[in-house]
Chains A and B, each alone.
Chain A
Amino acid sequence: MHVFRKRNGKGNGNGGPVIRMEGITKVYDTGKVRVEALRGIDLAIGGGEFVAIVGPSGSGKSTLMNLIGCLDTPTGGDYDLLGEPVKGLDRNRLSAVRNRRVGFVFQNFNLLPQISAYENVELPLLFGSVSAKERKRRTEEVLARVGLEDRMEHKPTELSGGQMQRVAIARALAMDPAILLADEPTGNLDSTSGGDIMALFEDLWRQGRTIVVITHDAALSRRASRVVEIRDGRITRDTGARPEGGNAREALPE
């Protein structure tokens, strides 16, 4: 049982899940090689959940992340994001969905090196055609949220790994998306910076963000409210949704 928490008047008011996947399959067919990356995923994630998707390399979890983030489309099955079917959207529409609904955080940060932290964070707002005044307000707000208000004019190369990842998180938050989708966000960081980033995610979750993290990092998955394990393209374990405030640490036998 989960409760959808309404944030900033956004989200689906009917209390339905943020993510609803039914019978999702993904087949990569190069003509010679046919790889079934996902073999039928049923997954519902409600608003305000903090889900860790774990699994060994090649399990299909990155494919799942690409599908959740609308970077790719499934071969079969149905996927509704905020109650809206993603199926059949063209590439331009998918871009718009990513822009408004999904905030990405990547393992290697994926910041543009030649522009400042501020300009990096502003990018999704530019693609979303947000007015100049509103862009400035939101960019400054999210940079302050991740504690980088005094690093706005720095280029990524002038920042530490942890700071770069915080810029990336600020960028992911800029459009106030329905879900924050992170792929091994602590994978390239030392344990101290990694800890900071984990704390930041937990903080954001406690404020009502829906977070989906793909990770190998047991320390990170322990902070999640729910752990979904994937092997060979199937969900092999799901701790299920926890009531708010609780996390997987209590739910999982260690």
Chain B
Amino acid sequence: MSLRASLRQLSRDLRSQKLRTAFTAFGIVWGTVAVSLLLAFGQGMHAQLVKSSAGLGENIVIAWPSLTSKPFEGLGKGRRIRLDEEDIEMLRARAGGLLGISGEYASTLKLVYGTRTLAVDVSGVSPIFGEMRNLVPAAGGRFVNDLDERDKRRTLFLGDQLAKDLFGSTDPVGKTVQLGGSPFQIVGVLKKKSQDSSYSGRDEGKAFAPASTMRALTGQRYVNNFIFKAETNADTERLKAGVRRILAARHRFDPEDKEALALWDTTEMFRFLDTFMLAFRLFLGIVGSLTLVVGGIGVSNIMNVVVEERTREIGIKMALGARPSSILGQLLLETIFLTAGGGAVGLAISAAICAVFPESFTEFVGRPVLSPLVTATTAGLLGAVAIVAGYFPARDASRLDPVVAMKT
């Protein structure tokens, strides 16, 4: 039987039982909405959590030099390890697989603009710091750059909240402020970002200056901490060991002494986040799939009823020469059509919900997205449901004995 004839037959069959077709399709519509929306929310949430976590920087390691906790080579424990720019330079030159490293020289300084005075946490950092910590400048501004660092320029990059507190609605870029008694020029303001973890206050309330400028301004020689990042995440462990070994050799502490150099490896957080969110999304996917499977069971039931109702018709058709395989194909096609139709409507509903999802909610649960992955997963599930739901009734139909079937 040709495809066109099959489709004609199909439309006749579906139209002959409009209400039943609609109810059956509804089960699939509902299941599809459940699967696709849950997957979409899962993905949106994951993305939002990664984004918030990335507010601190993606896969960076933060290091604090501290007190030794083990005696080493005749030196007692409790010795303070202090690192200066030379140490940072040495790490930059010698640690293998390093994407970037920056010392951080932190001070609380008086910031004056016009009549306003604020005490602000200022960090002196290298230009690469901005990239590693996701300090993206808002349009019209920039982060501290290499020339600033080389020439000890008095340039300042402000957190967005700080900029608002100090300047209100005025654009701060290009304005001059007094920082610790010296004039600084604002070169950029932080573009608003989500940040759910920090180590010395959120970036929105801080200011960043070139490390060289800060050292000159405050006379601070030693870093409070430094941050670094591996070229590839997989190399982070090796890089951490390398950093410890180099510093331990230079400052004579035990490389095994975790307290002499405290490390916060955020890749661990990202790994955990990924594992957790994948499990969570899998859970959502399974919940949604079960809804779809229930819809599929409905379809399968209906197809069983259809086969029962059409037993005589199927018998007659077989007597006239319809092949059992084409009977099977016809019923399978019907199921697939029904499922595809319900699935298309369901996906359209989900897409509409995603489209009108209020922006104000996205900060908490993220923005649900019907990404290609979500759509493909849903379509794949629908296909599997259709084939499983349709196959068994269709197989029963194709196995009918025409002689018996015609007598029903």
Contacts and interface: CB of A to CB of B under 8 A. Distances in A.
Contact of B12 (A99, A115, A126): A115
- Interface size range of chain A in the complex: 20 to 34
B3 to A, nearest CB: 11
B326 A110 contact: no
B147 interface: no
B322 A95 contact: yes
Contacts of B318: 95, 98
Nearest to B399: A91
B181 to A, nearest CB: 93
A106 interface: yes
Among B12, B321, B324, max chain A CB count under 10 A is at B321
B1 interface: yes
A98 B324 contact: no
A69 B323 CA distance: 15
Interface of B is mostly: helix
Contact of A127 (B12, B317, B403): B317
B2 A175 contact: no
Contacts of B317: 123, 127
Given A114-B16, A129-B1, A129-B2, A99 B320 contact: yes
Given A66-B403, A71-B403, A114-B16, A95 B316 contact: no
Interface string B201-222: 0000000000000000000000
A104 interface: yes
Contact of B321 (A66, A95, A115): A95
A124 interface: yes
A72 interface: yes
B308 interface: no
A219 interface: no
Contacts of A5: none
A96 interface: yes
A110 B5 contact: no
Contact of B322 (A110, A127, A171): A127
Contacts of B401: 72
Nearest to B319: A104
Contact of B325 (A72, A92, A112, A114): A92
Among A69, A96, A104, A175, max chain B CB count under 10 A is at A104
A115 B16 CA distance: 11
Contacts of B402: 71
Interface in B12-45: 12, 16
A114 B12 contact: yes
Among A95, A96, A171, A175, max chain B CB count under 10 A is at A95
B5 A126 contact: yes
Contact of B323 (A71, A92, A111, A115): A92
Given A100-B321, A127-B320, 18 more contacts: A66-B403, A91-B324, A92-B324, A95-B318, A95-B322, A96-B321, A96-B323, A99-B320, A99-B321, A104-B320, A106-B406, A114-B12, A115-B12, A123-B322, A126-B1, A127-B1, A127-B317, A127-B326
24 contacts: A69-B319, A72-B401, A72-B403, A92-B323, A95-B318, A95-B322, A95-B323, A98-B321, A99-B321, A104-B319, A106-B406, A110-B312, A110-B319, A111-B316, A112-B313, A112-B316, A115-B12, A123-B320, A124-B321, A126-B1, A126-B2, A127-B1, A127-B321, A175-B321
Interface of A: 66, 69, 71-72, 91-92, 95-96, 98-100, 104, 106, 110-112, 114-115, 123-124, 126-129, 171, 175
